[in-house]
Structure 1
Amino acid sequence: MTIEARNQKPEIRRFFGISGLRSPRFAGASARRAVSGLRGFTLVETVVIIAVTSLVFITLGVLLSYFYKTNSYALEQSTAVGQARKGVEDAMLYLREASYGNDGAYPIKNVATSSITFYANTNNDAVIERVTYVLTNKTFYRAIATPTGNPPSYANAVTATSTMASPVTNGASTPVFRYFDKNGAELPEPVDISEISSVRTTVVIDVNVNRTPVAFTLSGGATLRNLKNQP
């Protein structure tokens, strides 16, 4: 009976699948060998990876900042040019319609290289306004004065001022206003107002003189239709 019991033990172990079990000590040693085979980054490798990653992010940040500033400047310049274009067109429109004031004043009141004052109907009513365009501190302004009283007087006129262009960077050799006689010849200073037949306006726009794109120049001309000295 004893012999039969010993012979049955291997069969029982095979039946339950435990004949190949290893001891816990042996399994732990195998796990330690597996873990030790996975080598981590050294200190030098870690420093190099951090440095390269930082360099990539810094470079990317610089590029993004550059493109943002460039596009922002281009947009700002484009906006300023658009505003100036409307300002020049506005001035030419009113100059063409220059006429005698409600008080009988001559269509052109006074002129200079950076300003002009004249009379015109700016809103299609029965009132003739006094209109002034002037460049002051790199800003091109328009002032419209509406006469008051009966008979109309410009002495206490209500004035509305608007910004037509900025920044305007005309140099000394580029006057905002130039004046011509009926033959197309430019009038020398001091300009004889009675000889003015047409006016030319030039506005130079440059948001930042130290950066590209370069300054943008807008020009326009107007013939004063209602003057008696027209050819």
Structure 2
Amino acid sequence: MMHNMSQVKVVTVSPSKGFSLVEMLVVIGILGIVGLALSNFQVDVWRQNAAQQSALEAEGELRNTLRQFMHDVRGASQSNTGSYAVELASSAALTIYSDVDGDVNRERVRYRLVNGTVTRGTTKPTGSPASYLDANESIQTMVRSVATATTRFDYFDGSYMGTTSPLTVPVDHSRVRFIRFTIAVDKDPSLPPAAITMTGSAVVRSLKDNF
């Protein structure tokens, strides 16, 4: 007699394998490193963008300042009190008389390098006889974060032909015919870009000899 024998298939189910504690720590460590790298990258990008924006602002300040400087110097002439067109000529300061607002009167214009800034002060003549009162001076900050070691005024007499050395300081202001202003700006010396340097120059037209 034949007997039907059923076969029983035994299936062994092993528990699903999860992350061990060590593996979890490794994953967390990798994610931390990646996150730190991304964070540093974002900071670097932000700093570069900020530096570029700062450089553009500095260039704008320099261009505007030198444009104003050249306009003032070209128009310099005898003051309302009869003083010479150039009153003071030093490496860190310039005082001239110039009609800066088109009202026929000559304002006293003072450029000064003070505490890392370039300022421009203007004083209108008042009274009869005319006088220039310090109390009436209007001072405007033109450029900030100035690199003082390379920012300076240079002066030349009527013999200047483009390569002549500037007049020796202290300058005899009566010899001045041509003025050059070099300004360097470095918003943050510890970060790029390097200092931005621009130069503007102009002839005092009322005094020009051979220019």
TM-score normalised by length of structure 1: 0.78
Aligned 8 A contact 1:147 1:158 in 2: no
Matching of residue 230 in structure 1 with residue 209 in structure 2: yes
Match of 1:11 in 2: none
Larger Rg: 1
Higher helix share: 1
> Which of 7, 16, 19 is the matching residue for 1:38?
16
Q: Tell me the amino acid that sits aligned with residue 107 of structure 2.
A: E
Q: Tell me the amino acid that sits aligned with residue 219 of structure 1.
A: T
Other structure's SS at 1:89 match: helix
Matching of residue 176 in structure 1 with residue 152 in structure 2: yes
Q: Give the Cα–Cα distance (whole angstroms) in 2 for the partners of residues 41 and 156 of structure 1.
A: 80
Q: How many residues matched?
A: 196
Q: Could you say if the C-alpha distance between residues 108 and 209 of structure 1 is closer, same or farther in structure 2, counting changes exceeding 3 Å?
A: same
Matching of residue 200 in structure 1 with residue 176 in structure 2: no
> Which of 128, 133, 147 is the matching residue for 1:155?
133
| Cα deviation, residue 59, structure 1 | 1.1
| Cα deviation, residue 226, structure 1 | 0.9
Aligned 8 A contact 1:180 1:198 in 2: yes
Unaligned runs of 5+ in 1: 1-29
Q: Could you say if the C-alpha distance between residues 156 and 187 of structure 1 is closer, same or farther in structure 2, counting changes exceeding 3 Å?
A: closer
Aligned 8 A contact 1:97 1:121 in 2: yes
Aligned 8 A contact 1:139 1:166 in 2: yes
Task: Report which structure shows greater RCO (CA 8 Å, sep ≥6).
Answer: 2
Match of 2:189 in 1: 209
Q: Give the Cα–Cα distance (whole angstroms) in 1 for the partners of residues 99 and 52 of structure 2.
A: 37
Percent of aligned positions with the same letter in both sequences?
32
Aligned Cα root-mean-square deviation (Å)? 1.9
Unaligned runs of 5+ in 2: 1-10
